[in-house]
A and B are shown apart, each in its own frame.
Chain A
Amino acid sequence: MSEEVRVGVYICHCGTNIAGTVDVEEVTRYASTLPGVVIARSYIFMCSEPGQQLIKDDIVKYKLNRVVVAACSPALHELTFRRAVEEAGLNPYLFEMVNIREHNSWVHPDKVQATEKAKDLVRMAVAKAIELKPLEDIKVEVNKSALVVGGGIAGLAAALYLARMGFMVHLVERKPTLGGHTARIPFITYLGVRGDELVESYVKALMAMPNVKIYVNSDVVLLEGGAGAFKARIRMRPRYVSAKCNLCGECEKVCPVEVPNEYEYGLVRRKAIFLPFEKAYPLLYAIDMEACTRCGACVNVCPVEAIDLEETEKHEDVTVGVVILATGFDPYEPEREEFGYKLSDRVLTLFQIQRLLDERGPTKGEIVVNGKIPKTIVFIACVGSMGVGRKAGRYCSRMCCSTIMSCALKIRERIPDSTVFIIGRDIRTYGYEEDLYWKALEGDVRFVRYDEWPEVRVTTEGSIEVLVRDVTVGEYLLIPADLLVLGVGASPGKYLKEVLKVIRVGCGDEGFVREAHLKLRPVEAPTEGIYVAGAVTGPKSVVESITHGMAAASRASSILSKDYVSAEPMIAMVNEDLCSGCLVCIGMCPYNAITTKTLDGRRVARVNPIVCMGCGTCVAACPSGAMQQQGLEDRILLAQIRAFSR
């Protein structure tokens, strides 16, 4: 080091939080004896205005070129002090903060031990600070566009609000139509609208905006880069039916293949060439190539030659500033025989019964099972949630109680002489939905509270009995059911794992995507620039998903509204003189931030400073020591470690 290192050390009392246990004066005295230290002080609250001013004044007065603050956790005030130091004209990365509160005074009652430890920690911090070098934040120019992955209600809300703010939006949806599960809900409680009409209003608004590009039948296969500048590759899978399609439906008539219709939750079947539903967007037929046998019958009958079985997939690369993940959920799918599932036509899921009740659904709203109108209808709530079910999550799925209540009321309305039982662990019609519960009580719906899982008995003729122990009464009830509805909740989307391989965010224990912090950073993924919205983060009602989507759009705009974002410079850097091109680093990076380049005829590693997230894994692995982490170079950590003992 050609310049002389001059370190200032500041020990915070933090009121009595530190000073009550640690002898701060002794630590300050000790600090002043350390090599390189020109001034050591203690102060009651270093983070306060006067505390910060003390540092700034000293930097000028004593010509300090390194500053160490021993106080609370850097998680709280590292940024505060970096700014203070910068304001005094010193590079903010010539600053080190050491934790003598959370890690010391708050957890060690013995004052002598706590003081000794504080001295050790200060000594290590000073040794580290001496090795620090000035660093510059990395500036990334922000691309003012967004990628919204998932065309369900949360994605639609996010896309619309971002578009309205003036940003370019790329909306990518896996299925051949937008709308997700919301589009298949006949009546959305509390909002009092049809799901498909709600979706339609969003889609119409989006289509009216010139700065929105919608990709259906598509998914994202590659995502690189960081906040402000992500590069995404969108794979557009072939629909096999072009915009020429006039919806005549002749193709459907001749198609020989039938498969369960996922838009009706398997209640009825559809052909391999199909129209998702009346209000699908885009309103075109599509071919499910996994079911299709390529017999060509549809091609022959199409009057407008809209079908091309040879259509290939296309790719499009886009650059965006932010990514919003809103890929939703899928209903819990009970296993065969679980609560009688698939053992009888009379056992339906909550999603299926909603299709049955839809006046625009496959039965036009007629509730008929095996040719008969059911008289006793039993709902078992919490299937797949609350630990009820073989693969159930332990969480509550939030929306099923309200949905069950709505369905029960509709059934009571349409089949006046019906008897409806709702067997539940709990009734969670929260907020304004409580109203539904009272209506149900008044409408003569019977409620049974269970703890042990109800047992469903299905006879060979297909008739059903439900045996349940009513917790309130303490007796077993045997209820014969003409129709049994399993009140299934939400599970993580069945394609979620695949999506997360590309858009790298973490999941919680239950398999839903985890927000960075429920209170401090909701709708954000830990990775900067990536946001998460809707049921992908956990069960949500339609209203909650919309709010979430808007919140994500709002948070995302905090990046998009800037011209530049700054990234912390603690990234990996290659010493090109030393690098021998062994390529070990490349395989270490989960972000693919490292590539190679040719230098004087040699191949050397090259780190993309925007993509590198600064984990340091490649640095530890680099066999030659050519790869180092700015701000956490080997020599810095070694200095800190070597100061471990006096």
Chain B
Amino acid sequence: MSEGYEPKILMFACNWCSYAAADLAGTSRMKVPHNIRIVRVMCSGRVDPQLIIEAFTSGADGVLVTGCRIGDCHYIEGNYKTLRRIILLKKALEQLGIESERLRLEWIAASDAKRFVEIAVDTVERLRKLGPLKRHFDELSRVIEEVRGIE
């Protein structure tokens, strides 16, 4: 992988658990890799696969979907649906030639800042090894431009 490649990660965080865990990591002045940009939702159940695919096409090398632990969802079962969607989406991503490890689902309790940091560090490491996703989209754009140029 190219030197100095820093993967860019879009993280969906639920207001009650994972967003709060990220806040706690801040309050506790933990060191967190800088690669993550958080999009806040009320519940991980709001995360529509359309939004995830949009993240990939908008420049994210990896997408982290986070929420409350199973059984602890503030809205009771929102995360059950998230789990089902992500599992099916990972299957589809593999078929579409996108490494399914680029999409990661983690449950993080509001008090678990430590786990948030561990997941962040680990995700950045794994994505570094996978390389940028951008080159696929660049290739796609190039091919389409070429096709469009045919007279």
Residues of A within 8 A of B (CB): 73-75, 99, 101-104, 106-110, 113-114, 116-117, 120-121, 124, 504, 506-507, 526, 570, 588, 590-591, 613-617, 619-621, 629, 632, 634, 637-638, 640-645
In the complex, 18 of the A-B residue pairs with CB atoms within 8 angstroms, ordered by the A residue number, are A75-B20, A102-B23, A103-B26, A121-B38, A526-B74, A570-B42, A588-B81, A614-B42, A616-B42, A616-B45, A616-B46, A617-B46, A641-B10, A641-B58, A644-B8, A644-B10, A644-B37, A644-B60
- Interchain CB contact under 8 A, A615 and B75: yes
Do A110 and B22 contact each other (CB < 8 Å), given the known contacts A634-B48, A641-B10? no
Chain A residues closer than 8 Å to B59, beta-carbon distance: 644-645
Is B27 located at the chain interface by the 8 A CB criterion? Answer: yes
- Interchain CB contact under 8 A, B29 and A641: no
Q: How far is the CA of A526 from the CA of B17 in the complex (A)?
A: 12
Is B32 located at the chain interface by the 8 A CB criterion? Answer: yes
Interface membership of chain B positions 1-12, coded 1 if the CB is closer than 8 angstroms to chain A and 0 otherwise: 000000010100
Do A632 and B8 contact each other (CB < 8 Å), given the known contacts A75-B20, A619-B48, A641-B51? no
The residue of chain B having its C-beta at the shortest distance from the C-beta of A642 within the complex is B58
- Interchain CB contact under 8 A, A110 and B55: no
Interface membership of chain B positions 23-42, coded 1 if the CB is closer than 8 angstroms to chain A and 0 otherwise: 11111011110100111111
Q: How far is the CA of A634 from the CA of B52 in the complex (A)?
A: 12
- Interchain CB contact under 8 A, A113 and B42: no
- Interchain CB contact under 8 A, B71 and A621: no
- Interchain CB contact under 8 A, A106 and B43: no
The 6 closest A-B pairs by CB, nearest first: A102-B26, A616-B46, A645-B59, A617-B45, A615-B75, A615-B43
Is B95 located at the chain interface by the 8 A CB criterion? Answer: no
The residue of chain B having its C-beta at the shortest distance from the C-beta of A102 within the complex is B26
Q: How far is the CA of A637 from the CA of B74 in the complex (A)?
A: 21
Residues of B within 8 A of A (CB): 8, 10, 16, 19-20, 22-27, 29-32, 34, 37-43, 45-51, 54-55, 58-60, 71-72, 74-78, 81, 85
Do A108 and B34 contact each other (CB < 8 Å), given the known contacts A616-B42, A641-B55? yes
Q: B99: shortest Cβ distance to chain A, in Å?
A: 19
- Interchain CB contact under 8 A, A74 and B32: no
The residue of chain B having its C-beta at the shortest distance from the C-beta of A613 within the complex is B75
Do A108 and B32 contact each other (CB < 8 Å), given the known contacts A526-B74, A615-B46, A616-B45? yes
Q: How far is the CA of A533 from the CA of B8 in the complex (A)?
A: 46
Q: How far is the CA of A74 from the CA of B38 in the complex (A)?
A: 13
- Given contacts A121-B37, A641-B39, A642-B58, could you give 6 more A-B pairs where the C-beta distance is less than 8 Å? A101-B26, A102-B27, A103-B22, A108-B31, A616-B41, A617-B78
- Interchain CB contact under 8 A, B23 and A617: no
- Interchain CB contact under 8 A, B43 and A616: yes
- Interchain CB contact under 8 A, A103 and B74: no
Chain A residues closer than 8 Å to B43, beta-carbon distance: 615-617
- Interchain CB contact under 8 A, B16 and A526: yes
- Interchain CB contact under 8 A, B34 and A117: yes
- Interchain CB contact under 8 A, B46 and A632: yes
Q: How far is the CA of A99 from the CA of B27 in the complex (A)?
A: 12
Number of A-B pairs whose CB atoms are under 8 Å? 126
Chain B residues closer than 8 Å to A621, beta-carbon distance: 81
Q: A452: shortest Cβ distance to chain B, in Å?
A: 32
The residue of chain B having its C-beta at the shortest distance from the C-beta of A527 within the complex is B74
- Interchain CB contact under 8 A, A645 and B22: no
Q: How far is the CA of A124 from the CA of B39 in the complex (A)?
A: 9
- Interchain CB contact under 8 A, B81 and A620: yes
Q: How far is the CA of A434 from the CA of B90 in the complex (A)?
A: 59
Chain A residues closer than 8 Å to B75, beta-carbon distance: 590, 613, 615, 617
- Interchain CB contact under 8 A, B23 and A117: no
- Interchain CB contact under 8 A, B34 and A99: no
Q: How far is the CA of A570 from the CA of B42 in the complex (A)?
A: 9
Q: How far is the CA of A634 from the CA of B53 in the complex (A)?
A: 13
The residue of chain A having its C-beta at the shortest distance from the C-beta of B117 within the complex is A107
Q: B12: shortest Cβ distance to chain A, in Å?
A: 9
Chain A residues closer than 8 Å to B27, beta-carbon distance: 102, 106
Q: How far is the CA of A629 from the CA of B48 in the complex (A)?
A: 12
Chain B residues closer than 8 Å to A106, beta-carbon distance: 26-27, 29
Q: B126: shortest Cβ distance to chain A, in Å?
A: 19
Chain B residues closer than 8 Å to A640, beta-carbon distance: 39
Q: How far is the CA of A103 from the CA of B13 in the complex (A)?
A: 12
- Interchain CB contact under 8 A, B38 and A645: no
The residue of chain A having its C-beta at the shortest distance from the C-beta of B45 within the complex is A617
Chain A residues closer than 8 Å to B10, beta-carbon distance: 641, 644
Q: A609: shortest Cβ distance to chain B, in Å?
A: 15
For A103, A114, A117, A120, which residue has the most chain B Cβ atoms within 10 angstroms? A103
- Interchain CB contact under 8 A, B16 and A99: no
The residue of chain B having its C-beta at the shortest distance from the C-beta of A506 within the complex is B72
Do A99 and B31 contact each other (CB < 8 Å), given the known contacts A615-B75, A644-B37? no
The residue of chain A having its C-beta at the shortest distance from the C-beta of B22 within the complex is A103
- Interchain CB contact under 8 A, A103 and B41: no
- Interchain CB contact under 8 A, B81 and A109: no
For A73, A102, A632, A643, which residue has the most chain B Cβ atoms within 10 angstroms? A102
Q: How far is the CA of A117 from the CA of B34 in the complex (A)?
A: 7
Chain B residues closer than 8 Å to A504, beta-carbon distance: 76
- Interchain CB contact under 8 A, A103 and B58: no
Q: How far is the CA of A629 from the CA of B77 in the complex (A)?
A: 17
Chain A residues closer than 8 Å to B60, beta-carbon distance: 644
Q: How far is the CA of A621 from the CA of B58 in the complex (A)?
A: 22
The residue of chain B having its C-beta at the shortest distance from the C-beta of A514 within the complex is B72
- Interchain CB contact under 8 A, A620 and B25: no
Q: B114: shortest Cβ distance to chain A, in Å?
A: 13
Q: How far is the CA of A591 from the CA of B39 in the complex (A)?
A: 25
- Interchain CB contact under 8 A, A107 and B46: no
Chain A residues closer than 8 Å to B42, beta-carbon distance: 570, 614-616, 629, 632
For B19, B30, B42, which residue has the most chain A Cβ atoms within 10 angstroms? B42
Q: How far is the CA of A405 from the CA of B29 in the complex (A)?
A: 46
The residue of chain B having its C-beta at the shortest distance from the C-beta of A123 within the complex is B37
Chain B residues closer than 8 Å to A634, beta-carbon distance: 48, 50-51
Q: How far is the CA of A113 from the CA of B76 in the complex (A)?
A: 37
Q: How far is the CA of A320 from the CA of B90 in the complex (A)?
A: 45
Chain A residues closer than 8 Å to B72, beta-carbon distance: 506
- Interchain CB contact under 8 A, B51 and A644: no
Q: How far is the CA of A634 from the CA of B46 in the complex (A)?
A: 10
Do A107 and B26 contact each other (CB < 8 Å), given the known contacts A617-B43, A632-B41, A637-B41? yes
- Interchain CB contact under 8 A, B54 and A642: yes
Do A114 and B22 contact each other (CB < 8 Å), given the known contacts A614-B42, A634-B48? no
The residue of chain A having its C-beta at the shortest distance from the C-beta of B38 within the complex is A103
Q: A530: shortest Cβ distance to chain B, in Å?
A: 13
Chain B residues closer than 8 Å to A99, beta-carbon distance: 23, 26, 38
Chain A residues closer than 8 Å to B20, beta-carbon distance: 75
- Interchain CB contact under 8 A, B85 and A620: yes
Q: How far is the CA of A635 from the CA of B48 in the complex (A)?
A: 12
Chain B residues closer than 8 Å to A614, beta-carbon distance: 42
Q: B133: shortest Cβ distance to chain A, in Å?
A: 11
Q: How far is the CA of A642 from the CA of B55 in the complex (A)?
A: 7
Q: How far is the CA of A120 from the CA of B11 in the complex (A)?
A: 13
Chain B residues closer than 8 Å to A620, beta-carbon distance: 45-49, 81, 85
Chain B residues closer than 8 Å to A74, beta-carbon distance: 40
Q: A4: shortest Cβ distance to chain B, in Å?
A: 26
Do A120 and B37 contact each other (CB < 8 Å), given the known contacts A106-B26, A107-B25, A641-B55? yes
